[in-house]
Structures are given as structure tokens and as C-alpha cells.
Structure 1
């Protein structure tokens, strides 16, 4: 008999003898024939689609072992760079709280997530991850989409906005009165905030009775179709709280990769917000102006034109939330700057650890990290970290 001691990066259980065992949890034991005897941390997956559906990889773990997995992912990435720090308790989003998701629909009438490591679609009959408002649209969408006679797979981007669900369908273009009537009937029957279509030339709105917004920092912000948004309200709140704790009460802060303003609109004092996405930065500017917040926005590609060290030294604090690739170009300038404190939000422990090493070599101290599990039962790991100038 051998025991499972941890969970590897892709979700397999790792035994004492080094074997990787799919769908095993810490504390499980393996018999000579490889059979798994569940331990204290092995729970019965709640969804009938697990493990075929690619939406979840870790439904067999309880919250304690999922939290340990998130912490281990971060600690392992740091150790690979020769770093360590305090890693606080993981902040986990509950089931059925995902307010942003991309589903797929094929001409055979299947609608759902793709199967794990496959392009085959899982026809969703239940989902323990999506917010109820999103899952409630699965059957109605399956009735609507055949009207357009799609010849290829469609992508459906769903966001729970202030006014209801925002729907963007890519891969088809409605035309004619029959399509317009079907869209209006669907939108009215299910209180849709907006429905737009994109055939490759950009989103075209076909239903939006009221301007669609998302509330960030207590302020309504115009929401572009399929915009990036933290996956759950709970995850957003955990990240904002960690960022605010990290920077304290600065007079002026730079928010880099600011997006729609998740952090910029929640920070004290004056804020400079830089973002490469044109629609996002225009929405942030509109939301800040409407709320009369002291937020100066700049449409700026921080990969091609990162802030210089001289520009960074004007700020009392910096917040950055880059894409998965990290912020190597911006980090080089930050490591040489004299900014007293930096809050770094990341969705990739590996690129974060690479950037953290550069920061520490430049004279910063990595004070602490908060793991955040927004993608329920997923291997996806997010975090917020604090750096201070030594």
C-alpha cells in the first residue's frame, strides 16, 4: 500500500513512490493493483459530467486539499526561482458563483464546455460552477441557436452584468426579420441585458434596452461585450482586499494593466490607470468621470511602451495585474524604481515567480502572498502579493 501525499500541477495525485495517479486526493491509498481507497480528503464529485467535462479537474478534492493544492502551486513556483515567503490561507469562491464563462455550441445541438484534453463538447445538463443566472440560459440558448442554422461551432461568451446576462455569440450573423424576432423573444423572455453577435468583424449589438454596466468599486462602469472580468464576485473582493492591504493609503497610485478598473476604482487617493485595451480604458474613463473619481487614464501598451523608472518614481504605490505571460518588460523598470510598495496580482504562479525574482534582485522584498481560487475545482491558480522596497 502507498499513500497519496499531494496533488501535482495538472491535478493528478502524487504517491509516496512518485507515481502520478489521476483523480486521487491526499490521504488516499493505492493497492497493489492500483485501486484507490478514498481517504479523508476525497469527496464524491457532485456533477454527473465529471471528469469528462473540461470545466473542472479537481471535484474529487475537499476544500482543505484544494486550498493546499493552490498553496503548493505557488510555493513550488517560488522555490524554482530560489524564493520563499509567507503564503496566507487561500480564499476560495463557493460553488455556482462563476459570473463569466465561455460555452460552445455545435451544429449537432450540443452546448457546454469542451471535454478534458479534447475538442468534443459536453452537452451540459447540470453545472456546479456557473452562477444560476448563467446556467439557466443553457436550454433557452439551445432552442434559439438552431434558428441561425450554424455550419460551424459557435462560442458563447456569458457575463452576469448589473442589468442581467450579457451574451456575445461569435461565429454567426443574424439576418432578416425572423432572426430579429427570435432574438427579441429570447431576450425578453429571459431578461437578457444585451445580446451581440460577432462574425469576425467585431461585436454587433442586436438587443440592449439599457446601457450595460458592471459595478466595480461601488461604481457602475460601461461593460464592453466579452470584456475581461474577475470570474467571481468573491474572488474580486478577495483580490481587492489584498491589494488595498498591500498598498495602504498612498497619495497617488499607478494601476498598470488596469482593465475596466477593478482596482483603480477601489483605491484611495489619486490613481493613474494604464491599459492596452482601447474599449476597456474608455469604459474605465467613463465610469471614473461619472463617479467623479480622481482617475487619470491612458491607453498604453505596457509591453511595447512600459512605464520608465523615472515615471514610476512619481508614485507612492504601484498595482499591476498582467495577463498570464506576466509583465517582464514592465518588471525590469519596476525593479530599478524606488516605489515604496507594489501589489502584484497574477493568474500564473510561474510567470509571477519569474517576475518576483527580478524584483527581489532589484532590492525589493516579497512580503506575503494570498492565494485565490476563483475557478472552482480547477487547477487555475491566482494570487495577490505585496513587495516592499528594502
Structure 2
């Protein structure tokens, strides 16, 4: 076994680990900060933290007793101002890798603990014992939790009660995926990789759970079992009932910040394209002032958007279209007569779509992204096509993690 060594942390890496350059190799040491003196045990390319000998002035006390066990958080040990700067540096580094050295990155919009309304947890039975929580860091083991300081109070109140029911529905072989979403009308619960709950005694048990926990909606393996109330989220002047288990912005404050950035940049545009529109995070808000062409590849998301728009208050027209924008992007010729364009793709970005936008004459473009690397690639395409980056704003939707959202504003 390798003996512990004393090192000084040289810098922070992109995933939040401290990096030490030792004997010609890089060692990645979780839960350390730049400049700290630490005792570590080398293990391959990683260093197991044994003790902080000289803490950084940037160090903070963790807000959760499971920090360094639960893999949900990586950066609770960093003070907010320094943490915001680190998140901003992730965006700066990604842009620099594509040649954007002079682009000014706005200060990170930080969220607060207790605001996470959506969470995806894992449940598994081990010898009749339920493990329910998040995976441990770099492990398939599950950190059993009853409370997470990042979640909204309504979800935390539900966790221990939900744990009483879950063993009834789990199989012995699979981990179950448990997606919780707090909405205006109650919690939307979606279970995946569980028993078939659509009939017989298992269905009755599921209904009993939904009643006992006062769930708004319960789904299992992609099928809605019971909707006691439509789960509703406010998006501008409309209320959306998102598809069961579908992507929703995890933190309402972060969604509001991104939406306001988009609205401010779109300004008085009369005709707007919203690509990868989902259930209408931006489209429904922009429709208060503009005609919107909203495109999305998922039927269920578009149905949710259409219903919200029809029952919204004083909204202008939204033309909705199902289209796989990776295989069939909107062409530059189709973008004529539009004043602004918003695109919010998955983590893979939107290379083919960006190439078409770069050929267009749309005056204002908003790129929203959860991946600085693919965002930088897509911005490079747009800038090479004649656009100019006006601003880039990081939004810390996933608190204490290496993930960061961005809103980039470009003009031609």
C-alpha cells in the first residue's frame, strides 16, 4: 500500500477536484482547494484525502453531514464568492479553448440551498433493506438519505414517507429510478424500472401510496397510473403540466433567471423562433409579446405546450412543430422574417442547427446551454458565420456540482 504524502494543491480542475503535479504526473484530489497543504494517499491518478494541514481562506463548512459520502455534491467546502468565480472559470476555459479569449463572462447567477424542485434518486433492495438516495461519489453504492439541504421543503418532507412504500414496488434485480418534481398542485412522482403496477394488487397498492402521500400524479415505467390533480408549473402567463418524468428546469429561481435574460435580450422582437422548446420554458413567456415558432422533437412536450398555450392569458400565437432538429435542422431560408431566435439543446449541443443559424440573417440569437464545451463549439460556428457575442452569463442551476448553465447573447 502506498504511504501518505504531503502536497500543496496547485489548482482546481473542471470537476472540482484539486490537482497536484507530483513526480511527473497529475493527481486529482477531491474536496481540496487551490493552495491548500494536505496529506493524501496516491491511488493511481487520484489522491485520497487524509487530512487538510493548511486550509485555504476560501474553505467553508459543508452544509450536509453526508458531504464527501453522497455523490450529489462536489463543492460544499468552498465559500460562495470563490465558488461563483470557479463556476465562471469553467465557462471561460471552455470559451478560451475555442479561441474566445476576449469575451467577457458575467458574474455567475448563484442559486441557494433549499430551491431544488426536481430530483432524480435511486432505490434498491439489498436483503430486504431499502437503500434510497443518491449514488456515492465514483461508486455504484447508494448513499441512503432522509433529507437533502438542496431540495425544497416539500420534497424533503416526502422522502421518509415515500421510503415506507417503495419496497412494495421494487424488483430484486434492478435499481429503480425515482423522479420527484414539486409543482404548484403537489408532487409529481415517476418511477422507472419497478414492477408492473398497472393492474391487480400492485395497482391498488400504488393508488394507496398516491393517496397516502397526496401525490398530484403517479407514473410507473412510462405509464401514468393516477392523476389526482394535474401537476402545474407557472411559465409566464401560462400553467404547464409537463410530461411525467420529463426534463424540467431543476431550480425555479435558475429558470426565472435564464428566462429573464432571454426576454431582456429578445426585447421587442415580433417574430421569434424557439428551437428545442420543450414544454415551453421560453416560448410561453415570449408569447406574451411575440409570435413564436416553437420546434421540439418530443410529442409529449409539444402536447403540454399546446395545452398550456390554449389556456394561457393574453398570449399571442405559437406555431408548434415536431421536428428532429439534429437530423433536420431549421434551414437558414426558413428563418427569413424572424427577428430573434432562441435555442436550448441537450448537452450534445446543436452543431448542425448552429451551422444553419450561422448562414441566416436573424439579428438576435440566444444560445442556452448546460454544457460549456458544446456551447463554445456552437458559438465558434456562429461567430465564424458573422455573429458577435454580446454577453455570456453563467447560471448555477445545479448547486455544488461541476455543472453550469449559460445564456449567450449574440447579434449580427
TM over 0.5: yes
Quote how far apart the aligned CAs of 1:176 are: 5.4
Taking structure 1 as the reference length, what is the TM-score of the superposition? Answer: 0.93
Is 2:106 the counterpart of 1:88? yes
CA deviations 1:70-111 (Å, max 9, x no partner) are 111010011111113111111111102111111111012100
Residue 265 (structure 1) aligns with: 284
5 Å-filtered alignment, 1:256-335, equals 256-267=275-286, 268-291=289-312, 293=315, 294-335=317-358
Alpha carbons 1:310, 1:337 under 8 Å: kept: yes
Q: Secondary structure at the match of 2:180?
A: strand
Alpha carbons 2:162, 2:213 under 8 Å: kept: no
Q: 2 CA distance for matches of 1:100 and 1:14?
A: 32
Instruction: Extract unaligned runs of 5+ from structure 2.
Output: 1-5, 42-48
Alpha carbons 1:255, 1:263 under 8 Å: kept: yes
Residue 219 (structure 1) aligns with: 238
Q: 1 CA distance for matches of 2:83 and 2:212?
A: 39
Q: Secondary structure at the match of 2:125?
A: coil
Is 2:76 the counterpart of 1:59? yes
Quote how far apart the aligned CAs of 1:21 are: 3.3
Residue 166 (structure 2) aligns with: 145
Q: 1 CA distance for matches of 2:109 and 2:233?
A: 22
Residue 28 (structure 1) aligns with: 36
Alpha carbons 1:258, 1:320 under 8 Å: kept: yes
Alpha carbons 1:27, 1:41 under 8 Å: kept: no
Q: Secondary structure at the match of 1:110?
A: strand
Question: Which residue, 118, 129, 134 being the options, matches 1:100?
Answer: 118
**How many equivalent pairs are there?**
385
Moved more, 302-311 or 150-159: 150-159
Residue 376 (structure 1) aligns with: 399
Is 2:174 the counterpart of 1:156? no
Q: 1 CA distance for matches of 2:217 and 2:40?
A: 56
Quote how far apart the aligned CAs of 1:3 are: 5.9
Q: 2 CA distance for matches of 1:278 and 1:264?
A: 16
CA deviations 1:151-201 (Å, max 9, x no partner) are 221111111122111001111212655434433332223221111111xxx
Residue 237 (structure 1) aligns with: 256
Instruction: Extract unaligned runs of 5+ from structure 1.
Output: none
Q: Relative contact order: is structure 1 or structure 2 higher (C-alpha 8 Å, sep ≥ 6)?
A: 1
Residue 48 (structure 1) aligns with: 65
Residue 187 (structure 1) aligns with: 210
Residue 12 (structure 1) aligns with: 17
Q: 2 CA distance for matches of 1:228 and 1:216?
A: 15
Taking structure 2 as the reference length, what is the TM-score of the superposition? Answer: 0.88
Q: 2 CA distance for matches of 1:265 and 1:161?
A: 17
Q: 1 CA distance for matches of 2:241 and 2:61?
A: 41
Q: 2 CA distance for matches of 1:148 and 1:72?
A: 44
Q: 2 CA distance for matches of 1:162 and 1:5?
A: 46
